[in-house]
Structure 1
Amino acid sequence: MSQFNIHSIQSAPAGAQALLQGSLKKYGFIPNLHGGLAEAPVALEAYIQLTALFDRSSLSPTERQVVVLAVSAENQCTYCVAAHSTIAKHMVKADPTVVDAIRNLQPLPDPKLDALANFTRNAVRYRGVVRGQALDKFIAAGCSRAQVLEVILGVTFKTLSNYTNHLINTPLDSAFQAESWKQPSQCANKQCA
C-alpha cells in the first residue's frame, strides 16, 4: 500500500493544479504519474519541462520512445513501459516489433535503433559511465555526439518518473492496460541486468 495520493485537480496542492489542467488538456485524462507527482508541484513541473525539452531534441519521435522504453525497462518500471509502449505504438506509430523487442529485452531489428537502445541501457546500468563498444557502436550507427547528451537528457527525465512510480506504487491507467508489462524472467541475449 502506498503512502502517497494520486491527486485530482481539486485535491492537488495549489502549485500543481494548473499543471494537472494542462495534462488533462494534452492527454484527455490526467495520467496517474502526473497525479502522483502533483504531491510536489516542483517535481511535476520538472517532469513536464524535461519532457518538453527532450521532445525538442534531434532524436526522432521513434528514437525518443526507444530511449524512454529502454530506460524504463532497465529500471523495471512497469508503469512507464506500459505507458510508453502505448504511446510508441498508437501515437508515434513506431514499428511494434521494435517496441516488443525493447519490452522483451531483445535485440532490435533496426541496427541504428538497437545501438540507441544498447547505449541507453548502458547509460542507466553503469550510471553514465559508458565508454568503449557501447559508445563506439552508437556513434558508428550514425548518431552524433550531441545525441549522446540528448540520450542522457532522456535518461534524466525518465529516471525521475521511474523512481517516482516505484516509490508511490503508481496504479496503471486504463489507457495503458493493454500494454501492461512485467520484466521478462530471463534474457536470452544477456543484455539485461
Structure 2
Amino acid sequence: MTTFTVHTPETAPEGSKQILSGVKSGLGFVPNLLATMAEAPVLLEGYTTLAGILDKSDLSETERQIVLLTNNRLNGCTYCMAAHTTLSQMGGVDDVVIEALRTNTPIADAKLEALRTFAAVMNESRGWPEAAQLEAFFAAGYKQQHVLEVIVATSLKVMSNYTNHIAETELDDAFAKNVWSESDLKA
C-alpha cells in the first residue's frame, strides 16, 4: 500500500496550511485524518467546510452523530468510529446511544432508532430508499429536510471514511480510548 504523507501546518501544501493551523489552535493538535487530507487542499477544505455546514442543520448533535457513526460502522472505518465516539462523548450524546451505535443494536428511543435505521438504509441502498422506508422515517417525526440532511452527513463520511481506508490513517492518541473494530458488533 502507498504511504500517505501526514502533514503538519508547516509541511502542508499552501492551500492546507491555514486550515491545519486553525484546527491546531482549536483542538491543540491536528488529527491524523485532517493531516492526511491536507495533501489535497480541496479535500481538506471540502471536508472541514461540509462539517461546519452540517453543524447548522436541523439535526441535533445526537442526531448528527447517529448518522455519522452509522455510516462509519457500515463503511468499516475504525478511525472514524473511535474519533466520533470521542466527539459524541464530548458533545453530550447519551452513553447508551453511543454503545448502540458501536455495537449495531437498536436505540431505545423510537425516533432516534428510526434515524439510525434510515441512515443505514441510505448508505446500504446508495440513496435509493423504498417508499415504505421514507414513510417510516416521516412517521417517526422527521421531515423532508431531514432526509436531505442525512445525505449531507453521509457525504461527509464518504470523504473521511474513504480517505482512512486508502491512507490507513493511524489513530490519534486523543481517540485511542475509544478504539473500535467490527468484532464489537452484536448484530
Give TM-score scaled by structure 2 length: 0.96
Q: Which runs of 4+ in 1 moved over 3 A?
A: 184-188
Q: How does 1:1-193 map to 2 (within 5 A)?
A: 2-89=2-89, 91-184=90-183, 187-188=186-187
Contiguous gaps of at least 5 residues in structure 2: none
**Does the 8 A contact of 1:82 with 1:177 survive in 2?**
yes
| Corresponding letter in the other structure for 1:105 | N
Q: 1:96 to 1:2 in 2, by over 3 A?
A: farther
For the 8 Å contact 1:63–1:113, the answer to whether it is kept is: yes
What CA distance in whole angstroms lies between the structure 2 residues aligned with 1:185 and 1:65? Answer: 18
CA distance in 1, matches of 2:24, 2:184: 36
Aligned residues, how many? 187
Q: Is the 8 A contact 1:2 1:168 kept in 2?
A: yes
1:122, CA displacement in angstroms?
A: 1.1
Gaps of 5+ in 1: 189-193
- Kindly provide the amino acid, as one letter, of the partner of residue 167 in structure 2: I
**Maintained 8 Å contact 2:63/2:112:** yes
Letter in 2 for 1:113: L
Cα deviation, 1:84-111, whole Å, max 9, x if unaligned, reads 001101x211111101111101111111
Query: 1:38: Cα distance to partner?
Result: 0.2
Task: Give the percent of matched residue pairs that are identical in Structure 1 and Structure 2.
Answer: 42
Shift in Å, 1:185: 7.0
Q: Secondary structure at the match of 1:127?
A: coil
Deviation at 1:10, TM superposition (A): 1.2
Q: Distance in 2 between matches of 1:98 and 1:139?
A: 21
Q: Which one-letter code corresponds to 1:62 in the other structure?
A: T
C-alpha RMSD of the superposition: 1.3
Contact 2:83-2:178 at 8 Å conserved across structures: yes
Per-residue displacement from partner, 1:40-85 (whole Å, max 9, x unpaired)?
0010000011001100000001111111001101101000010000
Secondary structure of residue in 2 paired with 1:184 = helix
Q: Quickly say closer, same or farther: Cα 1:22–1:108, change in 2 above 3 A.
A: same
TM-score, normalised by the number of residues in structure 1: 0.93
C-alpha distance in 1 between matches for 2:144 and 2:57? 13
CA distance in 2, matches of 1:184, 1:138: 29
Contact persistence 1:2–1:169 (CA under 8 A): no
Deviation of 1:2 after TM superposition, in Å, equals: 4.2
Match of residue 191 from structure 1: none
Distance 1:10 1:80 in 2: 25
Q: Structure 2: how far apart are the matches of 1:185 and 1:44?
A: 30
